Copies of this chain bind each other. A is one copy, B any other.
Amino acid sequence: MNGPSLALRQRSLGDPATEFPLFPPLTRGCPKTSTDEIAYPLEITYDYARVDRRLFEQEPGTDIARWSPLLPPLEAPSLGEGGTPLVEFDGVHGAPRSAAHRRLQNCIYVKDESRNPTWSHKDRLNRVAVSAAVASGAPGVVVASSGNHGASAAAYAARAGLPAIVLTSADSPPAVQAFVRAYGARVLSVPAEKRWPLLREIVERLGYHPVSNQTVTHTGHPFGPEGYKTIAYELFLQLGRVPAAVFAPTGYAELLYGVWKGFVELRLLGLAGTLPRMFSCETAAGGPHARALATGAPAAVVELGASDAYGIAGPVGGHRGVVAVRDSGGAALLVTDEELRSAQRDLARQGLWQELSGAAGLAGYRQARLDFDGPVVCLATSSGFKDVGVGVERFPVLEDPTLEDLAPDA
């Protein structure tokens, strides 16, 4: 039942009547509706009438090809992405709640995306985006990223036998720099302002396929968010229903939009009757989607302050996040580093060690203080190993330890 891709065309988010062929992927946004101030992204349309509903009788598992009819053609091999667990989170205490307590209250769940091949959600996007590079016959892949996205693109390119160039910054934690370099890509640490002109030159002169944004407001890769739809499919099967709300760590909002689109498709296919409210959880140091929603703009660029949540802290927003929040009746939340640290600590105290950015979903849920008529999902995107400061702190050695050293106040 998971046969070939039923993808049809690229469609502009600036005007749904504006469509383009599926290839080549329009990696600089919609050429018709974009302006000098706002670039509009594209999404992919499918021949939904031909989708076999038995697709959703499958169990989730580690290869998003099980959803191939609802994805662009997967020409790049899998590294076993997807099939991540949904872990119940107790919002109050350290231990899971009792069964009796659970029946009384709706549950909070954590979707642990640190369980992907390069230990972040980005692998779902890169399976699809690197597939576009392969399908386009590109001689290589180029990405500008200081962390998860660069490493994931490098891993999928390596798997597909394509050379990769990663333009990174010197700001990312040393362990993450080793991570990005591990997969054999050409990695250049360059000043932030030099990344985008160099990326463009590599695309134009070497013909490399870009899996990073190249526009004034974010558009990114037109196929990328399609990979994130698989999170919605998995949640639907894992919960046996559509959640009431989804809280997502949000930088460019590709994740938020992709998950939203997945649920929209489930309703369109007649499999689900409801839609979740989508909450964009951005760092208070920036928050371009919160700004756009507050001002009624289709997208926004903001000043960026200091934050350790480097995985989601960026000045540039896009139209996708605005669509997901607006159409779902959700909200854009701005979480401080302090709120992120609190959420990160409490996730770890229940056995889930997340990167600071990865805890933004839970931090947003806690800040919102809303009641929902159904289960709530907080997306947790990445492993704690990738955080700023990991590996920096040194700990003392007790040369002559005794039981007294274990006293709570020792």
**B-contacting residues of A (Cβ < 8 Å)?**
59-63, 77-80, 83-87, 93-96, 112, 114-119, 155-156, 158-161, 165, 167, 170, 173-175, 177-179, 181-184, 186-191, 194, 198, 201-202, 205-206, 345, 348-353, 383-386, 389-403, 405-406
**A395 to B351 Cα, complex, angstroms:** 33
Residue on B nearest A353 in the bound complex, by CB: B182
The CA-CA distance from A348 to B118 in the complex, in Å, is 11
A237, chain B: closest CB distance, angstroms: 11
Given the interface pairs A84-B62, A112-B117, the reply to whether A189 lies near B396 with Cβ below 8 Å is yes
Contacts A398-B190, A406-B186: A349 and B83 contacting too (C-beta < 8 A)?
no
A346 nearest CB across to chain B (Å): 10
- In-complex Cβ contact of A349 among B117, B158, B206, B345 (8 A): B158
Residues of B close to A181: CB separation below 8 A: 395
Task: Among B79, B178, B353, point to the contact of A87 (Cβ < 8 A).
Answer: B79
Nearest 4 CB-CB pairs, A to B?
A: A80-B85, A95-B161, A175-B391, A159-B351
Query: Is the Cβ of A352 less than 8 Å from the Cβ of B117?
Result: yes
Query: In the complex, which residues of chain B have a beta carbon less than 8 angstroms from the beta carbon of A396?
Result: 189
Q: Which residues of B contact A398 (CB under 8 A)?
A: 188-190
> CA separation between A59 and B63, bound complex, in Å?
13
Q: Is the Cβ of A77 less than 8 Å from the Cβ of B63?
A: no
Chosen A-B contacts, 19 in total, with CB atoms closer than 8 Å, are A77-B96, A78-B85, A95-B159, A95-B161, A96-B159, A115-B115, A156-B351, A159-B351, A165-B406, A167-B401, A174-B394, A175-B390, A178-B389, A178-B393, A182-B384, A183-B349, A189-B395, A191-B399, A201-B403
Closest B residue by C-beta to A400: B194
Q: Which among B63, B159, B161, B179 is the interface contact of A384 at CB below 8 angstroms? A: B179
State which of B61, B178, B206, B403 has its C-beta within 8 Å of the C-beta of A61: B61
Decide: A63 and B85 in contact? CB cutoff 8 A.
Answer: yes
Asked if A158 contacts B117 (CB within 8 A), the reply is no
For the residues of A in contact with B, the DSSP-based class is loop
CA distance A287 to B397 in the complex (A): 28
Complexed CA–CA distance, A161 and B96 (Å): 8
| A93 to B160 alpha-carbon distance, docked (Å) | 11
Q: Is the CB of B183 within 8 A of A353?
A: yes
Chain B residues, Cβ within 8 Å of A96: 77, 159, 161
Residues of B within 8 A of A60 (CB): 61
Q: Is the CB of B59 within 8 A of A161?
A: no
User: Knowing A390-B178, A397-B190 touch, does A161 contact B353 (C-beta < 8 A)?
Assistant: no
Identify A158's interface contact among B85, B94, B119, B179, CB under 8 A. Answer: B94
* B residues less than 8 Å from A170 (CB atoms): 395, 397
Supposing A178-B390, A391-B174, A391-B390 touch, asked if A403 and B205 sit within 8 A by C-beta, the answer is yes
Question: A159-B350, A174-B390 given. 19 additional CB < 8 A pairs?
Answer: A60-B61, A77-B96, A80-B112, A95-B159, A95-B161, A96-B159, A117-B352, A155-B353, A159-B351, A170-B397, A174-B391, A179-B353, A182-B384, A184-B348, A188-B406, A191-B399, A202-B406, A383-B385, A385-B385
Q: Which single residue of chain B is at the shortest CB-CB distance from A96? A: B77
Select one of B114, B202, B405 contacting A188, CB under 8 A. Answer: B405
Cross-chain contact A161 with B94 (CB below 8 angstroms): yes
